[in-house]
Chains A and B, each alone.
Chain A
Amino acid sequence: MSTRAETPAGFEPEETEFSVGEMLRRIGRGELASVRVLVAIAVIWTIFQLANDRFLSAINLTNLTLQIAAVATISIGVVLVLLLGEIDLSVGAVSGFAAGVMAVLTVKEGLNPELAIAAGLAVGALIGLFNGFFVTVFGIPSFVVTLAGLIGFQGALLLVLGDTGTVPLPPSTITDLTHTFFDPAIGWLLAAGVVGAYVVSVLVGRARRQRAGLAVPPLIQALIAPALVTAGAFATVAILNEDRGVPLALVIVVALCVVLAFITERTRFGRHIYAVGGNAEAARRAGIRIKRIRVAVFTIASTLAAFGGILAASRLLAVNQQSGSGEVLLFAIAGPVIAGTSLFGGRGFVWSALLGAIVIGSITNGMDLLGLDSDIKFIITGGVLLAAVTIDAATRLRREPSG
């Protein structure tokens, strides 16, 4: 009652009632896309578990996290580019090329592994700058610029690998990235840290709203999402601890998601990314420097692609001529789209990178367990992508104003 009295005059706050019907309506409209994906993951896992009871075993789920780490990392950058209403087709080739540069520098030139990783990331950043430059200064569609990059950087990978073709990576910091597992106790601590930080941020945000005299949902409702995240985090750690422990690669991917989700959703820069993707002309007239935003986003995306390539090389223990080619690009773009990030710009969220990678990774992993052939695997994965994009388009149609 008292919070209501403090709300600004002349404006009735919306009644924030909690009902299952309202929630279903919002899921249908794409507002709670993450819930939709979680349901999809539950269905997929149930199907594969029924088909093969090893699917949900600790060892297989640990493998799944390692399998998706690289693509999920690349996808985070793809999400940012998609939010702008642009596309980056070069992320796969860039991931391979950057990993190739890193591998050659450390194996053939004897550079220390940490510096080689930094060099690989720098290559990614430079390529992103280059992409952003062509898109903004010359006004060339990003589709074309990055298509050229897709072809060109594949060639560049072959060039740096030289005659050997494959560069194996000896044990080092690079290979440790995906071959390190934490003690069970540290795994629990990590989960507690993530959950604690999340709950605190929810409560602080709520307190700020109350202080500003704004309506807040009932505490129970505000804690639904944190409760689900808590349950998910501890269940994940429990399962992973049964096998080798929480993989470092998973910690890296989650940390990247947390940082970039914060940047996109809570900072001015992030708000401007959404604004450019929603209405670039409006953003320009509002004084937003849209060229600078575009260049920054392409740079971040290519850097993340490079890091994804490094993770892939770490897991494979080598860089070869196929690194970053084939399904890497397709899965890196399909994942976020499946999980609710729009191809049309302005709508989406960073976590869709991880959620989408889990969907695609689960399907691939599950079909591998069943021993299906590549032909069937590609057809089914393509069908899932088409279904997801159809859902995206359908929610867009429903969003069109009726008046």
Chain B
Amino acid sequence: MNQSQSTAQASESSSLSEPLLALKGFSKSFGAVEALKDVDFELRAGEVVGLVGDNGAGKSTLIKAIAGVQPPDEGEARFEGQPVNLNSPQAATALGIATVYQDLALAENLDVVANLFLGQEVADGWPGVDVLDEASMEHKSMELLGSLGVTTLRSVRTEVADLSGGQRQAVAIARSLLGEPKVVLLDEPTAALGIVQTQEILKLVERLRERELGVIVISHNLANVFTVADRIVVLRLGRLVASFDARDVRREDVVGAITGAEFGDERPTEEAPL
């Protein structure tokens, strides 16, 4: 009894050190175009990874592969150390991988509560009749948004049509958390947002890290990535070309990796005078 408990504890502590999500040798081709080439990628709990790269570098392909929307041609995935098959969105969701796409997929005619619980409404009632439990959904919505520090909403009964872009993004992210995921993929969460709203969303991403979630953020905005990411992973032409620690990497190095300057040019790698 005691022994089995201690082994369970041991395996739990070892799982903390191993990555939440590990991809090995992910490749994907569309005809002659190799969108992903032999990509190895790891994500740990409580880690925010900024995924950057130029247009067509393979960011979206990688995200879609993880979300199960577009399974890779080759490669194996491990989730919490176990080999898994990410061959459908349902499979990814069941593992605890939530994706917030750029278009957010909110129903503008419904209020915040209805959108948060869309497709997973809390209901009771009689056999065959699902009567919505609005009070408990509203209560949970306020709790969830409160815990994420989303305070700019006037009321959770506001229709999404009346929300700002930042508030919509916050609602979409909050909705992805209702399924208690372990990994959250954010596709361009700050695109088309103003400065203040961008700051709010970045704070929200930090709350996700505090919740010990693994977060992948795709962004074109390097400044935002530097603000929020622990690690910056660079894709170029389908290859994972660099993985930097966000604390001690210079902006130029990241830009160089994105554009390929440090590889394409014949410039000496050490102390290049600029």
A binding-site residues for B, Cβ under 8 Å: 7-14, 205, 208-209, 211-214, 266-269, 271, 274-275, 277-279, 281-283, 285-288, 345-347, 399, 401, 403
Tell yes or no: B132 within 8 A of A by CB.
yes
Contact residues of B between 120 and 151, Cβ < 8 Å to A? 120-121, 123, 125, 129-132, 134-136, 138-139, 142-143, 145-147, 149, 151
Chain A residues within an 8 Å CB radius of B114: 271, 274-275
Contact B105 A281, beta carbon cutoff 8 Å: yes
B108 → chain A closest CB, angstroms: 6
Q: Are B142 and A8 touching (Cβ within 8 A)? A: yes
CB < 8 Å: which of B109, B120, B139 contacts A347? B109
Is B161 part of the binding interface, using a Cβ–Cβ cutoff of 8 Å? yes
Is A10 in contact with B149, judged by CB distance below 8 angstroms?
Answer: yes
Interface residue? B268 (CB, 8 A):
no
Whether A212 pairs with B139 at a CB distance below 8 angstroms is yes
- A212 and B109 in contact (CB under 8 A), knowing A266-B132, A267-B131, A288-B119? no
Given A13-B155, A267-B132, A212-B161 contact (CB < 8 Å) = no
Given A11-B151, A401-B161, 14 extra CB contacts under 8 A: A8-B143, A9-B147, A10-B145, A10-B147, A10-B149, A11-B146, A211-B135, A267-B123, A267-B130, A274-B107, A275-B119, A286-B118, A287-B120, A346-B109
Known: A212-B139, A271-B114. A286 touches B146 (CB 8 A): no
Docked CA distance A7–B156 (Å): 13
Residues in A whose Cβ lies below 8 Å from that of B91: none
Question: When chains A and B are docked, how far (Å) is the Cα of A175 from the Cα of B121?
Answer: 43
Known contacts A10-B147, A266-B132, A267-B125; A274/B110 CB under 8 A: yes
Q: Give bound CA distance, A282 to B125, whole Å.
A: 26
A399 and B121: CB pair below 8 A? no
- Measured CB to CB, the nearest residue on chain A to B164 is A403
Q: Which residue of B has the minimal Cβ distance to A207?
A: B135
Decide if A401 touches B135 in the complex (CB within 8 Å): no
Residues A279 and B108 in contact in the complex (CB < 8 Å), given A212-B138, A268-B123, A288-B119: yes
Given the known interface contacts A10-B149, A11-B146, A274-B110, the answer about A214 and B131 at a Cβ–Cβ threshold of 8 Å is no
Contact of B106 with A by CB under 8 A: yes
B154-183 interface with A by 8 A CB criterion: 154-157, 161-165
B114 and chain A: residue at smallest CB distance: A271
A8 touches which of B105, B106, B139, B164 (Cβ 8 Å): B139
Taking CB as reference atom, which chain B residue is nearest A282? B105
Evaluate contact between B123 and A286: CB separation under 8 angstroms. no
Contact present for A279 and B149 (CB under 8 Å): no
- Enumerate chain A residues within 8 angstroms of B132, measured Cβ to Cβ: 266-268, 271
Residues on the B chain within 8 Å of A287, using CB:
119-120
Residue of B nearest to A211 (CB): B135
A12 to B153, CA, bound (A): 9
Are A271 and B155 in contact, with the CB atoms below 8 A?
A: no
Contact between chains at B108 and A11 (CB < 8 Å):
no
Query: CB distance B110 to A14 under 8 Å?
Result: no
Residues of A within 8 A of B118 (CB): 271, 275, 282-283, 286, 288
Q: Which residue on chain A has the smallest CB distance to residue B105?
A: A282
Contact flag A274-B164 (CB < 8 Å), given A11-B145, A267-B132, A288-B119: no
B119 to A11, Cβ gap below 8 A? Answer: no
What residues of chain A lie closer than 8 Å to B145, measured between beta carbons? 10-11
A279 to B106, CA, bound (A): 7
| Chain B min CB distance to A263 (Å) | 9
Question: Smallest distance from the beta carbon of B199 to chain A beta carbons, Å?
Answer: 16
B154 → A minimal CB distance (Å)? 5
Q: What are the residues of chain A within 8 A of B136 when measuring CB–CB?
A: 212
Residues of B within 8 A of A268 (CB): 121, 123, 130, 132
Nearest CB of B to A342, in Å: 9
Contacts of A279 in B (CB 8 A): 105-109
Contact B135 A212 (CB under 8 A): yes
In this complex, the member of A13, A277, A282, A347 whose beta carbon has the largest number of chain B beta carbons within 10 angstroms is A282
